[in-house]
Amino acid sequence: MSQELFKITGKIALVTGSTHGLGKAMAMGLGKAGAIIIVNGNSSQDKIDIAVAEYKKEGILAYGYKFNVADEKEVIEAIKKIETEIGNIDILVNNAGIIKRTPLVDMEVKDFKQVVDIDLVSPFIVSKHVVRGMMNRKEGKIINICSMMSELGRNSVGAYAAAKGGLVMLTKNMATEWARFNIQINGIGPGYFAISQTEPIRGDGHPFNDFIINRTPAKKWGDPEDLAGAAIFLASKASNFVNGHILYVDGGILATIGKPSNEE
């Protein structure tokens, strides 16, 4: 019975921004749990093709689609194509995002708007056009990838934090409107994870590595598989009565104010 709760075999999962990083880690987890993965990116078809090959190497059934999640016309066309060629989307993970590390006083308005468009508006666009099918079928899972910056401030990431904070409330309002159709809409707020993008700053003695280890009660960077587990939970029957919730996978960072560097 317990294994059946987490079974997602044959479910079609669209994971935006899944050619690399945490999006790829979550998509890999869903795929290894049996889901069919729709890989999305917008940089180049070659990058998507390489990612699809990497999924297939792990025994995952995967297909790649290049489209801009912030362009409604492209999103509509891509969803129609996916549903025609592969099937109905059962699971949507709104992961695609960008960050621009610029102090607010120096940030151009166009750059602020770009971050908000991709990190906040695009989950609305993609969800709006995927959820119609879920509503008709009376079943579906939507997972919005939030952030610890949905709750905390940090120098130079004001636009990102504003967008991710807004994504929390968008998630709650999606649940408010769509839960009655047996659709579960939740969020994941990742902490700091040991992935290729963070490798240069994870060495012993690196100031940021020391900061994260000191700030995290678990005393380590997250393992991508930990994030995959959260995604599987929110994508499966195990979360059928969980709605409008943000699951922070952060090793306990948000649970504490931290401690002085000289304190054991």
Residue 256 lies in a domain: no
Which pLDDT score is estimated for 204?
84
C-alpha span between 155 and 144 (Å, rounded): 24
The answer as to whether 152 is a domain residue is yes
Q: In terms of DSSP bridges, do strands 140-145 and 183-190 run parallel, antiparallel, or are they unpaired?
A: parallel
pLDDT of residue 21: 93
Q: What sign results for the dihedral spanned by CA atoms 69, 18, 92, 171?
A: negative
Q: Is residue 130 part of a domain?
A: yes
Within-domain flag for 58: yes
DSSP count for the chain of H helices, then E strands:
9, 7
Nearest residue to 193 via CA among 167, 216, 159:
216
pLDDT digits (tens, 9 = 90+) for 192-237: 999 887 888 898 889 989 989 999 999 999 998 899 999 999 999 9
Active-site positions?
160
pLDDT digits (tens, 9 = 90+) for 136-166: 999 999 999 999 999 998 889 999 999 999 9
In the chain, the number of structural domains is 1
Tell me if 209 sits within 8 A of 201, measured CB to CB.
Answer: yes
State the pTM of this model.
0.96
200: exposed, middle or buried (Cβ count in 10 Å: 0-12, 13-18, 19+)? exposed
What single DSSP character describes residue 223?
P
Asked, for residue 262, whether it belongs to a domain, the answer is no
For position 31, which CATH number holds? 3.40.50.720
Q: Is 238 exposed, middle or buried (0-12, 13-18, 19+ CB in 10 A)?
A: middle
For residue 44, is it within any domain? yes
- Domain range for 151 is 2-251
Classify residue 264: in a domain, yes or no.
Answer: no
Q: Is the pLDDT of residue 35 over 70?
A: yes
211 within domain boundaries: yes
Question: What pLDDT shows up at residue 224?
Answer: 86
The predicted pLDDT at position 258 comes to: 77
Q: pLDDT for 91-147, tens place per residue?
A: 999 999 999 999 999 999 999 999 999 999 999 999 999 999 999 999 999 999 999
